[in-house]
């Protein structure tokens, strides 16, 4: 039987039972007056048939709570009146917990997947909270009867809480309330109304009891953190409010914010201000890509009406321009600029010697808080023979002044793809090797295949599904040996660029000695406030993960610095709800939110709307008609779940969707916004239009057509 049918049958069964309950007005038997009236008869029946009565009572109690029917309170009183305090407490405690758990399981079976997929983004924080301290919340809710129990059962079923946790927390949490009602039942004659059972004093005691574990846990957390710090002598006064390790994107923004709010901050950099992004990452790579693009345009000159163009170049001069570009951006990240902003910049290798002290150049800086922003380094896989050749990485690539004749690029991720295309455009014979079935592993297969097609059209040999196994030298030749479908594949090369990922920089500056915990992928383990297991040591950027982008490093830096400086008063959870990125191939590939692959994997209901750039006037005028915009929306709604853009300036076009997603703006609003003609940005309105056309109210239009016909007479 399919899942849908099973759900349907469960709904029918529940609806039937509830209908019977109300149709026959069974509720009238579950009132205080009825109970009092029949107490004598019930007691006689119980005296004659003890086990049967207990069994029937138990079954009925389970049914009432499992179906969320009104009457559990009266039944509890009845239990006390009939069986006496202790037996009733035991029976009601188990029956109510089993019934509640059944209600929880039914709600989970029928609705959880749907609710979780529909409100995934909004529920993310709640789910995380439930996973962390759901048991405490449930316990509080059970003891503090603000929300009716049946609502708690049904709502908890929609969360990721485990059924066993729900069961035992409910059993313990409901015990005190059950005891009060059972006890009241033993003196049934004196009860005038259900409302009077819980006196305000008793209610207040329950509130205290219910919130106690949660408060206690928070207290223990604070104590534990204090304890972690206790073994380190705390300076009487601090030199700094904040010391930041690393002046890359994360460190620069952290210290900038600290200085802006008038904190005393030291920024320590062991190599170059600006870190990877400026010196060996985003800036040089984009500068190189720009020169390569001009060459590619030269080759396409015919498309633009030229008979012939000739471009002469020297690769060394291209690389010198790259350095000039880095030099032009350098002032933005310079010691001079940051000093003027109020940051004390220190050149030197920092070492954290305690949660309050950082050593640099033989000095000890005392500080209230520390931010680790030490970035990441190229990961070099342990391929036998690789260390015998002078392999390139994104660190030393920029020193090249001669174009390699045959270049192997190991890795099909963003850096690998960007460099593959750029070097191929300069005329290197590039072979790109990727172990996975397609390039750009994060993106949809259609995107990856399109980019692969473009690369191949430009002369790149793309080898996916090829695992690099060994590097050998034979005479003058260096050869990469890969395995593909169980067969060895030999690829001769002059240079090899290793671009298979980046490893967080966590070693050699005191973290191991101090006991700062690392997480599975090698990043520093943090809580949602970017604090490490030491509450005054925080981190941001590549070393913190989970993303490795300049913009996410800057985003985290805000949270890390604000939490470091003001966390004792107010802390902010880092918000990862809308994270965009772009790979700067030609055409660019930009994304925010879900793509189709992820939506399917996560079982998120979605619709796909695609607009081909070949339809856009500006793209046609520019001969840049390759690519598309793919928008995922909630079925029948204009709410954007994710956007992938493949095309020229895709990264810039994406900005409108990032804003829309961040602020809950749907496609209807984008459609209703004027976009200047003819721009590439108009494509965003076009895709919104395509979505609208697919959602025209056909029925309404039939009536409107009739109206027009009638008005024509």
Site membership for ligand FAD, residue 559 (CB under 6 A): no
Q: How far apart are CA 167 and CA 153, in angstroms?
A: 10
Given a contact cutoff of 8 angstroms between Cβ atoms, the answer to whether 593 and 599 are in contact is no
The Cα angle at residue 420 between residues 414 and 424, in degrees rounded to 5: 155
Cis peptide before 664 (omega within 30 of 0): no
Other C-beta atoms closer than 10 Å to the C-beta of 522 total: 16
Nearer to ligand FAD, 247 or 670 (CB): 247
Beta-strand relationship, 477-484 and 240-245: unpaired
The Cα angle at residue 81 between residues 79 and 82, in degrees rounded to 5: 65
Looking at residues 525 to 544 of the shown chain, list those that interact with ligand FAD (rule: CB under 6 A): 541-543
Helical segments of 613-697, H only: 617-621, 650-653, 655-662, 667-671, 682-693
| Per-residue mark of binding to ligand FAD, 197-236 (x: CB under 6 A) | ----------------------------------------
Which pair of tokens denotes residue 119?
Answer: 């409100």
How many angstroms from the chain centroid is the CA of residue 703? Answer: 45
Which of 185, 213, 375, 404 touches ligand FAD by CB under 6 A? 375
Site membership for ligand FAD, residue 391 (CB under 6 A): no
Site membership for ligand FAD, residue 267 (CB under 6 A): no
Site membership for ligand FAD, residue 275 (CB under 6 A): yes
Say if residue 486 is exposed, middle or buried (CB neighbours under 10 Å; 0-12, 13-18, 19+): exposed
Q: How far apart are CA 333 and CA 345, in angstroms?
A: 11
In the complex, what is the shortest distance from the CB of residue 551 to ligand FAD, in angstroms, rounded to a whole number? 5
Given a contact cutoff of 8 angstroms between Cβ atoms, the answer to whether 116 and 158 are in contact is yes
Site membership for ligand FAD, residue 498 (CB under 6 A): no
Helical segments of 637-681, H only: 650-653, 655-662, 667-671
Task: Give DSSP secondary structure letters for 120-137.
Answer: HHHHHHHHHHHHHHHHHH
Candidate segments 59-67, 293-301, 372-380, 481-489, binder of ligand FAD by CB under 6 A: 372-380
Candidate segments 79-87, 277-285, 299-307, 608-616, binder of ligand FAD by CB under 6 A: 277-285
| Per-residue mark of binding to ligand FAD, 455-494 (x: CB under 6 A) | ----------------------------------------
Other C-beta atoms closer than 10 Å to the C-beta of 676 total: 8
Candidate segments 146-154, 202-210, 239-247, 622-630, binder of ligand FAD by CB under 6 A: 239-247
Q: How many residues bind ligand FAD (CB under 6 A)?
A: 36
Given a contact cutoff of 8 angstroms between Cβ atoms, the answer to whether 394 and 280 are in contact is yes
Site membership for ligand FAD, residue 367 (CB under 6 A): no
In the complex, what is the shortest distance from the CB of residue 118 to ligand FAD, in angstroms, rounded to a whole number? 31
In the complex, what is the shortest distance from the CB of residue 516 to ligand FAD, in angstroms, rounded to a whole number? 13
Which of 123, 135, 268, 646 touches ligand FAD by CB under 6 A? 268
Site membership for ligand FAD, residue 270 (CB under 6 A): yes
Residue of 233, 224, 334, 222 whose CA lies nearest to 278? 334
In degrees rounded to 5, what are phi and psi of residue 541?
90, -160
Looking at residues 327 to 366 of the shown chain, list those that interact with ligand FAD (rule: CB under 6 A): 349-350
In the complex, what is the shortest distance from the CB of residue 352 to ligand FAD, in angstroms, rounded to a whole number? 8
Site membership for ligand FAD, residue 373 (CB under 6 A): yes
- Which one-letter DSSP state was computed for residue 240? E
Nearer to ligand FAD, 171 or 394 (CB): 394
Which pair of tokens denotes residue 78?
Answer: 């009845």
Given a contact cutoff of 8 angstroms between Cβ atoms, the answer to whether 376 and 363 are in contact is no
Nearer to ligand FAD, 415 or 516 (CB): 415
| Per-residue mark of binding to ligand FAD, 280-319 (x: CB under 6 A) | xxx--x----------------------------------
Which of 551, 626, 675, 695 touches ligand FAD by CB under 6 A? 551
Nearer to ligand FAD, 197 or 370 (CB): 370
In the complex, what is the shortest distance from the CB of residue 372 to ligand FAD, in angstroms, rounded to a whole number? 8
Say if residue 336 is exposed, middle or buried (CB neighbours under 10 Å; 0-12, 13-18, 19+): exposed
Site membership for ligand FAD, residue 265 (CB under 6 A): no
Residues that bind ligand FAD (CB under 6 A): 245-251, 268-271, 275-277, 280-282, 285, 349-350, 373-375, 394, 415, 505, 509, 541-543, 548-551, 553, 584
């Amino acid at each position: 039987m399919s899942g849908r049918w099973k759900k349907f049958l469960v709904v029918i069964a529940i609806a039937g039972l509830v209908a019977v309950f109300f149709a026959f007005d069974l509720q009238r038997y579950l009132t205080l007056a009825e109970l009092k009236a029949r107490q004598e008869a019930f007691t006689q029946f119980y005296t004659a048939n003890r086990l049967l009565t207990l069994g029937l009572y138990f079954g009925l109690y389970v049914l009432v709570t499992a179906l969320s029917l009104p009457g559990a309170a009266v039944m509890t009183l009845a239990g006390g009146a009939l069986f006496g305090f202790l037996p009733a407490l035991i029976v009601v405690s188990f029956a109510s917990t089993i019934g509640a758990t059944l209600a929880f399981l039914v709600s989970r079976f029928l609705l959880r997947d749907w609710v979780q997929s529909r409100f995934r983004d909004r529920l993310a924080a709640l789910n995380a909270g439930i996973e962390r301290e759901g048991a405490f919340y449930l316990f509080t809710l059970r003891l503090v009867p603000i929300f009716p129990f049946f609502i708690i059962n049904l709502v908890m079923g929609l969360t990721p809480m485990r059924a066993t946790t729900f069961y035992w927390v409910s059993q313990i949490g409901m015990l005190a309330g059950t005891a009060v009602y059972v006890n009241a039942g033993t003196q049934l004659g004196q009860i005038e109304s259900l409302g009077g059972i819980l006196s305000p004093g008793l209610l207040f005691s329950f509130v205290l009891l219910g919130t106690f574990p949660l408060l206690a846990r928070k207290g223990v957390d604070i104590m534990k953190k204090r304890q972690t710090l206790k073994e380190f002598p705390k300076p009487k006064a601090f030199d700094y409010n904040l010391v930041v390790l690393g002046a890359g994107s994360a460190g620069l923004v952290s210290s900038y914010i600290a200085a802006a709010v008038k904190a005393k901050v030291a920024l320590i950099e062991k190599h170059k201000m600006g870190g990877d992004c400026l010196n060996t990452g985003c800036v040089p790579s984009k500068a190189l890509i720009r020169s390569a693009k001009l060459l590619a345009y030269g080759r396409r000159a015919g498309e633009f009406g030229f008979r012939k163009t000739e471009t002469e170049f020297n690769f060394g001069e291209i690389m010198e321009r790259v350095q000039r570009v880095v030099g032009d951006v350098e002032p933005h990240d310079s010691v001079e600029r940051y000093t003027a902003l109020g940051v004390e910049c220190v050149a030197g290798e920092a070492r954290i010697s305690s949660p309050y002290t950082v050593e640099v150049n033989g000095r000890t800086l005392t500080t209230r808080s520390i931010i680790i922003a030490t970035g990441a380094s190229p990961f070099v896989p342990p391929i036998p023979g690789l260390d015998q050749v002078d392999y390139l990485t994104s660190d030393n690539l920029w020193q090249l002044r001669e174009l390699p004749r045959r270049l192997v690029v190991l890795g099909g991720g963003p850096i690998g793809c960007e460099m593959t295309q750029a070097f191929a455009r300069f005329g290197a014979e590039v072979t790109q090797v990727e172990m996975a079935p397609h390039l750009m592993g994060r993106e949809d297969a259609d995107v990856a295949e399109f980019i692969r097609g473009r690369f191949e059209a430009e002369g790149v040999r793309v080898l996916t599904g090829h695992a690099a196994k060994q590097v050998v030298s034979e005479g003058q030749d260096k050869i990469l040996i890969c395995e593909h479908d169980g067969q060895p594949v030999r690829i001769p090369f002059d240079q090899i660029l290793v671009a298979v990922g980046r490893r967080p920089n966590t070693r050699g500056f005191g973290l191991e000695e101090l006991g700062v915990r690392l997480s599975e992928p090698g990043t520093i383990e943090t809580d949602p406030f970017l604090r490490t297991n030491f509450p005054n040591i925080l981190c941001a950027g590549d070393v913190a993960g989970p993303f490795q982008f300049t913009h996410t490093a800057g985003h985290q830096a805000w949270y890390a610095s604000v939490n470091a400086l003001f966390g004792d008063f107010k802390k902010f959870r880092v918000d990862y709800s809308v994270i965009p990125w772009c790979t700067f191939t030609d055409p660019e590939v930009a994304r925010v939110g879900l793509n189709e692959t992820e939506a399917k994997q996560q079982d998120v209901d979605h619709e796909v709307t695609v607009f081909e750039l070949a339809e856009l006037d500006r793209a046609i005028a520019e001969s840049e008609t390759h690519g598309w915009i793919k928008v995922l929306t909630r079925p029948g709604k204009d709410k954007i779940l994710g956007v992938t853009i493949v095309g020229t300036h895709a990264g810039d076009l994406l900005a409108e969707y990032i804003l829309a997603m961040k602020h809950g703006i749907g496609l209807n609003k984008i459609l209703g916004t004027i976009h200047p003609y003819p721009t590439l940005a108009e494509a965003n309105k076009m895709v919104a239009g395509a979505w609208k056309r697919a959602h025209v109210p056909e029925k309404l239009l039939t009536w409107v057509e009739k109206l027009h016909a009638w008005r024509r007479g």
